[in-house]
Structure 1
Amino acid sequence: MGKEITWLIIIGICIKSSCESLFNAETPALSNTDWILDYTDIETKFSVRSVEEPEEDLCYLVPGKKDTVTQCGFNISLPTFAIIHGWSVAGLFESWIHKLIAALFERVPNANVIVVDWLDRAQHHYHNSAANTKLVGEDVARLINWLEYNLMNLHLLGYSLGAHVAGVAGNLTNNKVNRITGGTVWQLVVRGHSLCIGVLKVKHNVRHTSLITIPLLCHTLHLFIYFIEPDLDQIMKCAHERSVHLFIDSLVNKQQQSMAYRCNSEDAFDRGLCLSCRKNRCNNMGFGVNKIRTTKSAKMYLKTGASMPFKVFHYQMKFHVFNQQNLSLSEQPVIVSLYGTHGEKEDIQVILSNVTTNTTVSFLLTTDVDLGELLRVMLQWDSDSYFSFFNSHKFMVRRIRVKAGETQSKSASTFIYLLQSTVSIFDAKSQYLQC
């Protein structure tokens, strides 16, 4: 475990160094357009993919050569997606590219899909490849400039260092790009200013994912950032690549869009205190995100499932506990079961970090099942817990309240008595309680 932590620290230093050296460099002034009209030194390739053969590089757009637009079947009136890969050790495309292409065509069948191929510049040492993102971003900007205003429906999709390519391109095209989505491990900086305005944290096991949604002039930038905890040898790549699969999930599972909630801290989110959708405090994650005009930064959180579809449903359970004795207990195991009009989820295990007499307990529950309207909740303290006073005293729980994040519905009971190992049930619809 120690070695993995050491490597993560070293990598983090290299990433920070690369970021500073890359984006502290001067960018060509937007007023000087001579360089952006010169296509002779463009090294990046722009492969146009087709629905019939999405994995094949059969045709390339070549800036300055109008006949390539026709030859590649590129329709300037249709939505266009440009996929930009990241650092490549082997100099080959990774499998996620083909999956993303297929997902894009599944969601928008008549779209133009371009793969930005900068493998020659991406297969060097990380520091050098990071520095090359500025050059590749200029190439992409020149392609967009060449195609001009016809690409108002352009959506740049960048992964890892490709996210920074997209950021550079979006900056240099002077508002021609409609939307940018990116996945990266370090902060994107343009013109010396951080674009990390809003953060969406996605939690699953030890993998921490973040998505940044940024209004940039007329652009909208969606940037994934990862905070990785060491586990297995492949955890870094697995966690880093998760951003792509979350986005693919949002494309192919249209009816199961993951919802994120604005929150000030991870602790508050884990206590279920942030499941409000008032004043644009919640939003879809990924392709179906609702565009919101705001100048304020915002952190947004959600939890995901282990596999696709990643969507889970969020619930806050909140109740007040009191007893004749003044006790404070930690790490208390609780089992919760939820029953609704569409389904049920039983035996959800929760550890309450602290339970103190005459206090309110609040925690977040998630389920991969769409329960519909909540009808009943079953609450049980584990028989192995250390609520020793339960054996001789009644422990009162006053007013259990449950809020569903996705539907914003609320249910409440009056009060119940709990003994260790006993089960308490309340009917959320009629507020009937049974001990």
Structure 2
Amino acid sequence: MGKGNFHFLTVWIILAQILATFSSNTTVVYDNSTVTATPVPTSDQWLLDYTGIVSKFSLRTADEPEDDLCYIVPGERDTITECEFNPETQTFVIIHGWTVTGMFESWVPKLVSALFNRVPSANVIVVDWLTRANQHYPTSAAYTKLVGADVAKFVTWIQNELQLPWDKIHLLGYSLGAHVAGIAGDLTKRQISRITGLDPAGPTFEHAANENILSQEDAKFVDVLHTNTRGSPDRSIGIQRSVGHIDIFPNGGTFQPGCDIQNTLMGIASAGIKGLQNMDQLVKCSHERSIHLFIDSLVNADQQSMAYSCNSQSAFNKGLCLSCRKNRCNNLGYNVKKVRSTRSTKMYLKTRDMMPYKVFHYQVKMHFFSEKKLSFTEQPLMISLFGTHGERENIPFQIPTLEGNSTVSFLLTTDTEIGDLLIVKLRWEKDNFFSWSDWWGRSKFHIRKLRVKSGETQSRAIFSSKDGEFAFMIRGGEDAVFVKTRDDNMNRQEKRMHKRKMQGTLFGQNDA
């Protein structure tokens, strides 16, 4: 069997293992051996027993983000000094997930470097539980309890030794590692400042009790990115249920732009022989996107992606949820505002298919008039935006329904910063070369005005036809052109409050 065929077969074995039906019990038989996640004693004395710790904790450096050059060993205080741990600054603990190769994946040093990029003085610790993570998936899933106990012991020990403030400890867990972080947070009596769950694993955890998974009860603040929730519950690679104070679902959370088979295979092919090592991207591209979105928030601080609270992806796609009032919008990733509530807040946003991932969100609302009774579905439009800072022409959009005497609202995104929007153009494309409805005349709609709201700036504007009372949108015809007529913006105080929420107070910024 050729090497390429071997790697491709490996991918589908991985997928089959992930999507297999798993038992909800924590006891799993693997290779004639039994792995049991032993319940942790209720007494705190177990936290002081470091003899059973299997996981390793390396303090990485900005100069050597890929290498484990120094390990901090729980119970051995000298290792804290030897590794030059700084108790005066922020501490990040990175926890990887399931692994097929038994080695760290390429995203680990990238996240390490990104954290140092944002906080150069930080302590960045990578948890190595590779021996337990490199098992049949259900076995590794059962090990999360034991690894969570290891992390809890480590964090508690180093906190006690150095009187390290709990509010300087931030755990970041990916896939199974997210549940490890949650268990560790629960065992440390929820004193950890923040846990970030990067697409927490779904199989065996979708219906599990809160003490066995990441939940909002595990830290003072828990934020979660869901990027691969496709499939039925417990068969989805990423967990579908909301488990944090804030749960963000980029692009609906099911599938991420650029992760289709064609794009992924092209990326693998462009890497040559080394690309064969990345065949598993066919399976994990959307899953791993959660990490790269977080990395993006660290290295592209001037291009923060914004997420919006919404009851459903369907409502979000209609542009109905672009409000920032009462904490209904938030930054994705590192700079998230720590808004806590007893009920999880579900948030949505769109992104690009590559870094920087930020796009600008607009709600476009219009009323269609027609002299004849017209009705169409899935019609292609081209929309162009022109503003004070830039322009973006011919954004493709497929409108679900198009009929006379109806009001339509939809979400439009662009990766170009337009600034204050001044002109909008609409063009109705033909969906095929020949249409019976156009036999006796071309289909035409009248539009009096557009209402456009920007999610990022919270500004609202009304656009009227450039020529006459109505603009005409004709299938296969010219652009219908609309120009800005007046603002329906927030009042001055509301805009000032919004700017402070998004950027912080402006006091002192101009001081020399």
Provide TM-score, normalisation by structure 2: 0.74
Matched residue type, 1:370: E
**Which residue of 175, 187, 199 maps to 1:172?**
187
Distance across 2 between alignment mates of 1:7 and 1:65: 38
Distance in 1 (CA, whole Å) between partners of 2:331 and 2:14 is: 34
Question: Contact (CA 8 Å) 1:61, 1:72: kept in 2 or not?
Answer: yes
Aligned to 1:120, which of 108, 131, 142? 131
Q: Residues 111-157 of structure 1: CA distance to partner in whole angstroms, max 9, x if unpaired?
A: 00101011111111111111111111101100111123514111111
Distance 1:78 1:156, change over 3 A: same
Distance 1:372 1:49, change over 3 A: same
Matched residue, 2:365: 318
Q: Per-residue deviation at 1:310?
A: 0.4
Q: Say if 2:20 is the partner of 1:17.
A: no
Across the aligned residues of Structure 1 and Structure 2, the Cα RMSD in angstroms comes to 3.4
Give 2:174's aligned residue.
159
Once the 2 structures are TM-superposed, how far is the Cα of residue 244 of structure 1 from its aligned partner?
0.7
Residue 200 of structure 1 deviates from its aligned partner by 6.1
AA of the residue aligned to 1:422: E
Residue range with higher mean Cα deviation, 414-423 or 52-61: 414-423
Shift of 1:364: 1.2
Deviation at 1:33, TM superposition (A): 1.0
- 1:348 to 2:395 alignment: yes
Larger fraction in strand: 1
Is residue 18–residue 237 contact of structure 2 (8 Å, CA) maintained in 1?
Answer: no
Match of 1:100 among 111, 122, 139: 111
Counterpart for residue 136 of structure 1: 147
Q: How far did 1:416 drift?
A: 2.4
Matched, 1:273 2:320: yes
The DSSP-based 3-state class of the residue aligned with 1:17 is: coil
Query: C-alpha offsets along residues 343-372 of structure 1, whole Å, 9 cap, x if unaligned?
Result: 100000111111121111111111111111
Alpha-carbon separation, structure 2, partners of 1:321 and 1:5: 48
Please report how far the alpha carbon of residue 12 of structure 1 lies from its aligned counterpart in structure 2 after TM superposition: 3.2
Q: d(CA) in 2 for partners of 1:343 and 1:194? A: 43
- What amino acid maps onto 1:185 in structure 2? A
The 3-state SS of whatever aligns with 2:380 is: strand
Q: CA, structure 1 residues 227+393, in 2 after alignment: closer, same or farther (shift >3 Å)?
A: closer
Contact 2:227 2:286 in 1 (8 A): no
Which ranges of structure 2 fall in alignment gaps of 5 or more residues?
Answer: 1-10, 29-35, 217-221, 262-278, 465-469, 488-512
Query: Are residues 21 and 320 of structure 1, via their aligned partners in 2, closer, same or farther at CA, if it must alter by over 3 Å?
Result: farther
Q: Contact (CA 8 Å) 1:78, 1:110: kept in 2 or not?
A: yes
Deviation by residue 1:260-314 (Cα, 9 ceiling, x = unmatched): 1111111111111111111111111010101112122322111110110000111
Contact 2:369 2:447 (8 Å CA) reproduced: yes
How far apart, CA to CA, are the structure 2 residues paired with 1:39 and 1:346? 61
d(CA) in 1 for partners of 2:486, 2:255: 45
Unaligned runs of 5+ in 1: none
Residues 222 and 262 of structure 1, relative CA distance in 2, 3 Å threshold? closer
**Aligned partners of 1:208, 1:254: CA distance in 2, in Å?**
29
Match of residue 403 from structure 1: 453
Q: Distance in 2 between matches of 1:388 and 1:357?
A: 16
Task: Indicate how the Cα distance of structure 1 residues 212 and 80 shifts in structure 2: closer, same or farther if over 3 A, else same.
Answer: farther
User: How far does the alpha carbon of each residue in 1:58-109 deviate from its partner, in whole angstroms, 9 at most, with x for none?
Assistant: 1111111111111110012210001111112121111100100000001000
Instruction: Return the offset for 1:167.
Output: 0.7
Q: Indicate whether 1:283 and 2:330 are aligned.
A: yes
Q: Is the 8 A contact 1:163 1:223 kept in 2?
A: no
Q: In the alignment, what sits opposite 1:145?
A: 156
Match of 1:89 in 2: 100
Distance 2:358 2:307 in 1: 10
CA distance in 2, matches of 1:221, 1:350: 27
Q: Indicate if the aligned counterparts of 1:208 and 1:227 stay in contact, CA closer than 8 A.
A: no
Q: Cα 1:363–1:199, aligned 2, differ >3 Å: closer, same or farther?
A: farther
Tell me if structure 2 keeps the 8 A contact 1:171–1:190. no
The whole-number CA distance in structure 1 between the counterparts of 2:63 and 2:38 is 42
Output the CA distance in 2 between the equivalents of 1:194 and 1:81: 17
Measured at CA, do residues 425 and 289 of structure 1 come closer, stay the same or move farther in structure 2, by a change above 3 Å? same
Secondary structure of the residue that 1:52 maps to in structure 2? coil
The reply to whether residue 296 of structure 1 matches residue 343 of structure 2 is: yes
The one-letter amino acid of 2:101's match is A
Partner of 2:215: 195
Aligned-partner SS, 2:121: coil
- Number of aligned positions between the proteins: 421
- The SS at the match of 1:413 is strand
> Would you say the 8 A contact 1:18–1:131 is kept in 2?
no
Q: Distance in 1 between matches of 2:214 and 2:107?
A: 28
Structure 1 counterpart of 2:472, one-letter code: Y
Change (3 A) 1:75 1:7: closer
Once residues 54 and 7 of structure 1 are traced to their aligned partners in structure 2, the CA distance between those partners, rounded to angstroms, is 28
147-156 or 365-374, which deviates more: 147-156
User: What secondary structure does 1:11 align onto?
Assistant: helix
**Distance in structure 2 (CA, Å) of the matches to 1:304 and 1:117:** 31
Instruction: Give the equivalent residue in structure 2 for 1:261.
Output: 308
1:407-418 maps to which residues of 2 (within 5 A)? 407-414=457-464, 415-418=470-473
Matched, 1:372 2:419: yes
The residue number in structure 2 matching 1:64 is 75
How far has the Cα of 1:6 moved from its partner?
A: 11
CA shift in 2, pair 1:19/1:160, >3 Å: farther
Matched, 1:362 2:409: yes
TM-score scaled to structure 1, two decimals? 0.87
Percent identity among equivalent residues? 50
How do 1:210-225 residues align onto structure 2 when only pairs under 5 Å count?
Answer: 214-215=244-245
Distance 1:222 1:21, change over 3 A: farther
2:451 aligned partner, one-letter code = R
SS of the equivalent of 2:398 reads strand
* Residue 391 (structure 1) aligned with residue 423 (structure 2): no
What is the rounded CA distance, in whole Å, between the counterparts of 1:365 and 1:281 in structure 2?
19
Q: Secondary structure at the match of 1:391?
A: coil
8 Å contact from structure 1 (residues 121, 129) kept in 2: yes
